[in-house]
Structure 1
Amino acid sequence: MSSNPDFSDFFYAAPDGLRLHARVYGEANSAHWPVVCLPGLTRNARDFHELALHLSTRSALARKVVAFDYRGRGQSAYDPDVSHYNVGIEAGDVLAGLAALGIEQAAFIGTSRGGLIIHVLGAMHPAALKAIVLNDIGPVIEPAGLAHIQSYLERAPKPKTLAEAMAAQRSVHGQDFPALADADWERMVRAIYRETNQGLLPDFDSTLIDTVANLDLSQPLPPLWQQFDALAAIPLLVIRGANSRLLSQETLEEMRKRHPGTRTITVPDHGHAPFLETGNLPTDIALFLDQAEARKNPR
């Protein structure tokens, strides 16, 4: 495990031997539930940097935070078999990483695809889940949201500079995120791209685009209500962007009906998916985790 002033880089072997990576923040924090952060389809551990710093160093109950790079993203190795880029295998990879770190139970935060992986983990290993934060994802995925993802991945620009990359992201997502400032767009771009001798490159295996491009959006994806219902005993916070195209208000209301006690936050001027480091979200997430742990482990 290599070190950084803010986190440590942890490398481990997937069940099939692929070399995978995670960031570990607050490694010495052991008094409270650890937190596992799972990013979106083409995203990586860097998405959670500011939130992880808050949870590990700035909140009332300092926690260990583990942010994963799935296979084919960030510092994890690319898989030569594109069929392995699926939520079932990725859920198994997360469990392997937790086992390597000696973590048996944790609170889980999942953005988009990360939330789908949490649904799978609930079926594979429910005892691992102490609390759940779903960021703009639920059991029903709206076709309009998937179509938007398909569109911008298939037509992804190839910027050469940071400024070009920021402009490109604004052109695609600016309508859904009208309140973002330059600093927000810069953080987003620095999380998406890596700097190379050839300029900026997306920090994921390009074959991931094929897994989305081949989806037939004329047919709705199978809903995950059965998997969601299995999470009913676990404290749940659902965050939704007010402009989200992927998680509808109707699905959010149904989630609240099926999971009594669900907390919800709607983030104004954000689409899919809200930036978890903005506004009051770090404080709100920390408070939710602290209260969930206090209810589970009363003094």
Structure 2
Amino acid sequence: MTDYTSRFLSAPDGLQLHARDYPPAPGGETRLPVICLPGLSRNARDFHQFALLVSNGASRPRRVIALDYRGRGLSAWDENTANYNVATECQDVIAACTALGISRALFIGTSRGGLILHIMAAVQPDLIAAAVLNDIGPEIEAEGLKDIRDYLSNRASPVTFEAAADSLARIHGPTFPALTRADWLEMADAIYREKDGRIVADHDPRLADQLQAIDFNKPLPTLWPQFDLLAQRPLLVIRGEYSRLFSMETVERMKAHGPHVETLTAEGQGHAPLLHHDSLFPRIKAFLDRQS
């Protein structure tokens, strides 16, 4: 017996999307579900441990949906790379919710997923009952975005998953001192998959193209008007202690924008924090438990 069911859904343009659907333990069927939205190049597997804790929790379990955006995980790749954008992916998330019979939910948005939630607050706000923003806000730092661009552009194919974990620990270890060897192995399993006898990143490599096109000599766009809409409902904003993408100054400004904004620092982690980590999960679970 598996812990989840794979759901294959259609995007508005017909492209096939995939989601993991984790059913709740008895008693959680009537509660609002949790929908998990991953980062730019990541997929539903990022949330596996978190989803198990929430769906099988001893107190207030909930159904959890973890999505693969187009071009990631088990979702189809898009021939038109221009569709790898936050607005299109937001419409994909809304379509997935409709297909799964979800009209209102609690959302977890990691990095790219949090940007999608900003757009959703403007185009379909009633879908969001509350949200957790994981190391993301309406304003991001250019240096952190450059780090992601360079990492995605230069990533090599490891020989084994153990080698992949070694590489991740070597590259990201300085900003994730809280992680153990087991954490790095789990991360490697979430990021990579075996294809044609090779270990490869589980996304369309053309995702990096949009980052290469950014002109870092110009200020990055911000989403403060959209954040003001998002901040009208309960929010938990998490920042990795060593994040280079999401500044503490932005966190403080977000707190001033709405009475429903709670904040939390993921100690010993960078961009983006592992939400099932012992130092974070109890606080996140408490936030979710306060919702319907």
What's the TM-score, normalizing by structure 2? Answer: 0.97
CA RMSD between the two structures: 1.2
Distance 2:9 2:280 in 1: 31
Deviation at 1:283, TM superposition (A): 2.1
Distance 1:261 1:17 in 2: 37
Distance 1:12 1:280 in 2: 35
Is the 2:109–2:133 contact (alpha carbons within 8 Å) kept by the matching residues of 1? Answer: yes
> What residue is the counterpart of 1:5 in the other structure?
2
Deviation at 1:27, TM superposition (A): 5.7
> What residue is the counterpart of 1:18 in the other structure?
15
Distance 1:283 1:60 in 2: 12
Poorly superposed stretches of 4+, deviation over 3 Å: none
Is residue 209 from structure 1 mapped to residue 208 from structure 2 by the alignment? yes
> What residue is the counterpart of 1:225 in the other structure?
224
Question: In the TM superposition, what are the counterparts of 1:135-284 in structure 2 within 5 Å?
Answer: 135-284=134-283
Deviates more, 1:144-153 or 1:193-202: 193-202
Question: In the TM superposition, what are the counterparts of 1:20-169 in structure 2 within 5 Å?
Answer: 20-26=17-23, 29-169=28-168
Q: How many residues align?
A: 290
Distance 2:55 2:182 in 1: 22
Deviation at 1:43, TM superposition (A): 0.2
Gaps of 5+ in 1: 294-299
> What residue is the counterpart of 1:297 in the other structure?
none
Distance 1:254 1:292 in 2: 24
Deviation at 1:248, TM superposition (A): 0.2
**1:159-206 CA distances to partner (integer Å, 9 max, x unpaired)?**
111122112112211111122110000011000001123221110001
Is the 1:59–1:286 contact (alpha carbons within 8 Å) kept by the matching residues of 2? Answer: no
Deviation at 1:242, TM superposition (A): 0.5
SS class of match (1:284): helix
**% of aligned pairs identical?**
49
- Alpha-carbon distance change, 178 to 131 in structure 1, aligned in 2, over 3 angstroms: same
SS class of match (1:71): coil
| Letter matched to residue 185 of structure 1 | W
| Letter matched to residue 75 of structure 1 | L
Is the 1:245–1:272 contact (alpha carbons within 8 Å) kept by the matching residues of 2? Answer: yes
Distance 2:136 2:246 in 1: 6
Deviation at 1:261, TM superposition (A): 3.2
Deviation at 1:59, TM superposition (A): 4.4
Deviates more, 1:196-205 or 1:248-257: 196-205
| Letter matched to residue 45 of structure 2 | R
Gaps of 5+ in 2: none
| Letter matched to residue 17 of structure 1 | G
Distance 2:126 2:235 in 1: 15
SS class of match (1:5): coil
Distance 1:59 1:36 in 2: 19
**1:26-85 CA distances to partner (integer Å, 9 max, x unpaired)?**
167422111100000000000000111111111411101100000000000000000000
- Alpha-carbon distance change, 254 to 59 in structure 1, aligned in 2, over 3 angstroms: farther
Is the 2:42–2:203 contact (alpha carbons within 8 Å) kept by the matching residues of 1? Answer: yes
- Alpha-carbon distance change, 59 to 137 in structure 1, aligned in 2, over 3 angstroms: farther
**1:223-254 CA distances to partner (integer Å, 9 max, x unpaired)?**
10000001232000011100000110000000
Distance 1:34 1:105 in 2: 8
